[in-house]
Structure 1
Amino acid sequence: MSKPRIGLLGTGPWAERTHAPALAAHPGLELSGVWGRRPEAAAALAAAHDTTAHSGEVGLDALFAESDAVAFALPPDIQAPLAARAAAAGCHLLMDKPVATSVAGAREVADAAAAAGVASVVFCTLRFAAGTAGWLGEQAAKGGWFTAHAYWLGALYAPGETSPYAESPWRREKGGLWDVGPHALSALIPLLGEVSDVTAVRTEPDLTHLVLRHVSGAASSVALSLSAPKAGAGTGIELRGEHGTAVLPEDWGDPVTSFGAAIDALLESVRTGQPHACDVRFGLRLTEILAGAEQQLNA
């Protein structure tokens, strides 16, 4: 049987460094093409991976027609409407987090995927990285956790930082809440249960604290930023409960390998017809929680 064909939407640093290499190297897929808003960028990335370049509305529809699935490496509020179109065209979805920064946008994608009967996976790194996915599963199986504290403090906008991701307009506008908040929530929810209530506090320039109440009765706290000092940046989760304490491993593995695991998860969901735990409906729930926090901050 021929391999499933997957198209890539996006040509930025994340697409270039993670998505395209993982998709092109995956033995169970054929990279059917690359679409970009800038034709020259699409042509360069497609040439690097021996596939076809697309741009514009016509190119978008052509790539959907030539693909069984589509991977997204686009800003969230550009990703969402295009993912809804891809689902309507019968393409399975491999999305980045957050699905969208509005509840309406995220719900549009989730509803489109449900109506079309397509599978979906949202790439929340901790759920797929080799060094963290197993740990999360083990701690969730133990249960009995009383509380947790998570922090995701990036130095993207620290003085002297030269990361290409700092050029992203949506990250600069939305900050740590929306960029790294989905990562923290994607780990805390399977560990402590669904979030029933959130309280948000922000200090300048971009430090957001969330206090979460979970349906299990546990509570957790989260600190999020993209503007931490370099020396104070870092990521971690600490759990405390009946079994003592547990700390998130520091070695997560290579992002390309992690994205490969997300590809595997999508293919498995397509094969079995069973939704993945980190699918677009879960992505919608993350957006709902973060939108609720943002509403408090804006008020």
Structure 2
Amino acid sequence: MYSWIPKFGMATPRMFRADRYMHPDEAGWAARLERLGAAADTDTATYAGLLEALRARRRVFKEAGGTATDTGVRDAGCEPLDEAEASRIHRAALDGTMTAAEAVAYRRNLLYRLAELSAEDGLVMQLHPGVLRNHHRPTFDAYGPDTGHDLPAVGAFTEPLTPILRGFGTDPVFRIVLFTVDETAFSREIGPLAGFYPSVYAGAPWWFLDTPDAILRYRRAVTDSAGFAKTSGFIDGTRAFCSIPARHDMSRRVDASYLAGLVAEHRLDEEDAFAVARRLVDDIPRATFRLG
């Protein structure tokens, strides 16, 4: 769910995340399955049970007012497996006999299934692939994960997302917002995908890219292909809550600068620029994330 704060004209996300169930090669995966199963009153020792538990918890989340999910993966690969093969890998993971290649196949299949669930229940799917987690092993060994050494990798969307977009790209229920930490992907892939597929939206710059210069480059990169309405607006999921008003103010100023440039070049009249400025911080995020 997104909480709207009218004073600052911004949204702060509360998102359903299933990342922890997508990596059967990670320590603690089986224990996390058990906790999920207990919460959903479902046997997650089976692959079918995992999917049913996710469906059940998404339903609870949606009933509580949630409108979006969030998924962070190494890459956007999403090749679906048939149920028998996915079930076999699920069991192998629990038995400790799963191979590295099977773990990748399982994760990519589950990404496809999460999109399938979004096409069923209408929760907006946010996807941010391409981050190399825990890049510096000595830091990880000393301090553990999420301690400042996650780094960006080259992003790819058009080819890896083919199965999802072939299945749901023109589905009126399905919606996916694509985020990246590789800004070359904005003009090369995300903008054109958002320009063609009704279900695809260009997510705001985040993490390494939420600086004034990078946000301006984002606007220049995606607008020709995607326009304004197929962008997410500057949403925020930072843990640094005190910085949120300043971050959104900065983003609004950068967007205003971009719009002013279009007016100065006679590519947009001033009245339309004011209308777009308002939509970018209010109407567009509300519409993108189905906020009523």
The structure having more radius of gyration, on CA atoms, is 2
Q: Same fold (TM over 0.5)?
A: no
Normalising by structure 1, we get a TM-score of 0.33
Work out which structure has the larger RCO, using CA pairs closer than 8 Å and 6 or more positions apart in sequence.
Answer: 1
TM-score (norm 2): 0.33
